[in-house]
Amino acid sequence: MIPELLAPAGTMEKLKIALQYGADAVYLGGDQFGLRAMAGNFTNAELPAALALCHANKVRAYLTVNSYPSDRQLDGLEQYLRQMARLPFDAYIVADPGVLRMVRRISPEREIHLSTQANTINHETALFWQEQGVGRINLAREMTLEDIRTTVTAVTIPCEVFVHGALCIAYSGRCLLSSALTGRSANQGACTQPCRWRYALQEESRPGVDLPIEEHEQGTFIFNSKDLCLLEQLPELISAGVTALKIEGRMKGVHYLACVLRVYRAALDAYASDPAGYRTDPRWLEELTTVSNRGYTTGFLYGDPHDVGQSYHAGYQRSHHLVGVVESVHPHNGTGTLTVRNRFALGDCLELIGPRMKRLDCPATEIMVVGPDNGYTSASVVHPNQRIVMRLPAAAAPGDLLRLPQADRPATGSTTSRR
């Protein structure tokens, strides 16, 4: 059985991208009680349209209710769950036993998926949650491949795993660092990501004097993990019986979501058509270097990652950045209308990408800016939020993305490492 490909959908635009680029299911948050309070999220008024769009495309939709509420928040949680009870979500994603109990009381028919925040690290824990009526378990990122096999065999309910995206240094993301340093709780959706900050060592008698920990011109990032990438391990995960493969990234942009989704969609489709002859396509690995990442690791899949999982670099690396989204195409004259996301100029050698690994050269040979009166003005440089008309490849379609390669493109090849 080919696992479900589960994608993040932080906003309506990202939801549409997820549907277009190959998701079998999406997870999304309302405006309360999820773990991505700053992801944009959906208002209560937007959720019915989002669900209708998912179900019209035969894509399942899961609501994240995976924060850890305090006692004083329980009345608000109950009110929120009663509002959500009217909507046809395919499942809720929860972590806290109290939230699970409340969902059972308010929406007894609702399927429940257990979040990775619940730290399911062994098969006995998985059996416990199965006995509580949980319908699916997102296994902790700290589990090895052998742990996953053992747990999948022990339970009768589906198990899912994260296969791609950012990794927290904390145990399955249950971090207190943000609370301690900023007063904003990661476990209630307000993480400030202090694991990505620059740190220095100070000696007590010399306050204000930073002492080097690691020689690096950009500073020291002792809490900064590489990103997870299990693309090359898909056959092993499928063989282990995993039911769903989850991509992290409700706070990432549409370029990230589209690129990662289309790679994993292509890989799963290739495996489905020929399991015995399946091989990882180098183009998929190359594509994953085009989006923002901190370098890739296989995490705990083969045991403790040690230095394989650590990144001492300040920020993201990527080989391309998004410059436009295709709104519509005009086949009669070979042009299309786009919304500009980042500055680019006449003569830039752009790429157009789309679902099913579409990747085409698209030089910016003529650019017309659409004015407030829908008139057109020729331009040599365009800027974010402008609407433009320009020539596109014949295979262009609405929802395709236009991106600009960067000069410091990293080397391609295998993006993951075994111990």
What is the per-residue pLDDT for 81?
A: 96
Instruction: Round to whole Å and give the CA distance between 125 and 144.
Output: 15
| Cα Rg of the chain (Å, integer) | 23
**Residue 260, H or E segment:** helix 254-273
- How many Cβ atoms sit within 10 Å of the Cβ of residue 347? 10
Structure tokens at 204: 């007590």
What is the per-residue pLDDT for 138?
A: 97
Sketch out the chain's domains with CATH numbers.
4-172+224-304 (3.20.20.70), 320-405 (2.40.30.10)
Structure tokens at 34: 């999820």
Structure tokens at 5: 């490909």
What is the per-residue pLDDT for 79?
A: 94
Torsion over CA: 76, 77, 80, 82 (sign): negative
Instruction: Round to whole Å and give the CA distance between 77 and 72.
Output: 10
Q: Which residues contact 137 (CB under 8 A, 6 or more apart)?
A: 113, 114, 120, 126, 129, 130, 151, 155, 157, 158, 159, 160
Mean pLDDT by 10 residues, the chain (419 residues): 95 96 95 61 92 98 92 94 96 96 97 95 97 97 96 98 86 62 64 66 73 54 79 98 94 93 98 97 96 89 70 68 97 96 96 97 96 93 97 97 75 41
What is the per-residue pLDDT for 409?
A: 39
Q: Write the DSSP string, 106-157.
A: H-TT--EEE-GGG---SHHHHHHHHHTT-SEEE--TT--HHHHHHHHHH-SS
Structure tokens at 326: 């295709």
Contact status, residue 296 vs residue 230, Cβ threshold 8 Å: no
Q: How far apart, in Å, are the Cα atoms of 153 and each of 67, 136, 156, 258, 266?
A: 29, 14, 8, 33, 27
What is the per-residue pLDDT for 411?
A: 39
Q: Which residues contact 8 (CB under 8 A, 6 or more apart)?
A: 14, 18, 26, 27, 28, 247, 248, 249, 250, 252, 257
What is the per-residue pLDDT for 181?
A: 64
What is the phi/psi pair of residue 333, to 5°? -130, 10
What is the per-residue pLDDT for 304?
A: 79
Instruction: Round to whole Å and give the CA distance between 129 and 136.
Output: 9
Q: Which residues contact 277 (CB under 8 A, 6 or more apart)?
A: none
What is the per-residue pLDDT for 311?
A: 53
What is the per-residue pLDDT for 252?
A: 87
